[in-house]
Amino acid sequence: MTGPLASIRVLELARILAGPWCGQLLADLGADVVKVERAGAGDDTRQWGPPFVEGADGEPMAAAYFYGCNRGKRSIEADFETPEGQALVRKLALHADVVIENFKFGGLKKYGLDYESLKQVNPKLVYCSITGFGQTGPYAPRAGYDFLVQGMGGVMHMTGTPDGPPLKSAVAIADIFTGLYAANAVQAALIRRAETGEGAYIDCALLDSQVAVLGYQALNYFVSGKLGPRMGNGHPNLVPYDVFPVADGDIIIATGNDGQFRKLCDILGAPGLSSDARFLANKDRVQRRAELTGILHGLTRKFTRADLLPKLDAASVPAGPINSIEDVFADPQVIARGMRVDTSNPRARGGTTPGVRSAIVIDGQPAAAERPAPDLGEHTADVLNDKAWGG
């Protein structure tokens, strides 16, 4: 099936994660994404291992990290510091619909590859700049890193246990959210271009993205004027909504309304708990969080995971296990949805490389490019001879 962006050509001058994540999503949706990498070195994440993907010859290829965000792309090499490399990028930009770059603020201007320069070559270009802090403001010149931005953007202050240190997410959420916002902005700009003929300059920042996804947590502060404490796995607005112990481990119970709480109490053998004046409504339960949680812990410990979870599911009480990544990809729902994709790759041992598809399904077709992440410079000759790219 042809992807919805099959007519779109994307020139990716990006490395690490946020920019490549945007490019991979566009590739999954069918775009022809040409990744321009530093001659001789390539994207830094090619070396971010172990683990490394094993080649058919038994030798290591690029790191698993690189394969996680560069599916579906073609790779060419260029040295931006040379006139030849700059001329190559300008030639490709002439035929591109989109440019994605995540150099430091102003980093491409000295090479004549910034938006204003490439706009002279291709006025209809949609040019997406991804930086740590955006193109304006006092922090614009700073380099941005996901870990730092998680701290600066408020999420670490809220993450962790009340008596423990602040914690970052195990997933690079600032980078990934920025990649998602960038891909969304690119597609919006392409729609506008189809209507007006105008190109666009997109300014995406890691800090903006991290702040934007604070969502209801920010609203809680705006409305109350109070900073909530770190709550571990608890929810500031709902109780019970947490991790609960069972006889053989832990599970998640996430009630969202009073009816679900009543069903939970019935299943736990304490029907009177839901009619107790102390816990009657969610606002009461939030105020008496510690008291109720202690009571519930005593009740849930009487059940095994395999006994309690099916009962909660049958009663439509939101609950679930805490899965390892191994558990995730053995889960029947994840298998049924085809979230793991094994892409044909004759260069790799076994002839395939694994990946995780995007979370997009259109007309029953999951969005996942069939091309594996490329070897460094693998497609240089192909791209330079491709008529669509001016070859």
Report the catalytic residues: 175
DSSP SS3 for 127:
strand
Handedness of CA 58, 328, 48, 32 (dihedral sign): positive
List own/partner pairs for 223-228 with CB under 8 A and 24 or more apart.
227/157, 228/158
Name the DSSP class of 95.
Answer: H
Other CB atoms within a 10 A radius of the CB of residue 170 amount to 6
Closest CA to 300 of 245, 251, 233, 241: 245
Rounded to whole angstroms, how far apart are CA atoms 184 and 277?
47
Handedness of CA 232, 340, 345, 20 (dihedral sign): negative
Amino acid, res. 25: L
What's the number of CA atoms in the CB half-sphere (13 Å) around residue 278? Answer: 9
Other CB atoms within a 10 A radius of the CB of residue 111 amount to 18
Phi (first) and psi of residue 264, to 5 degrees:
-60, -45
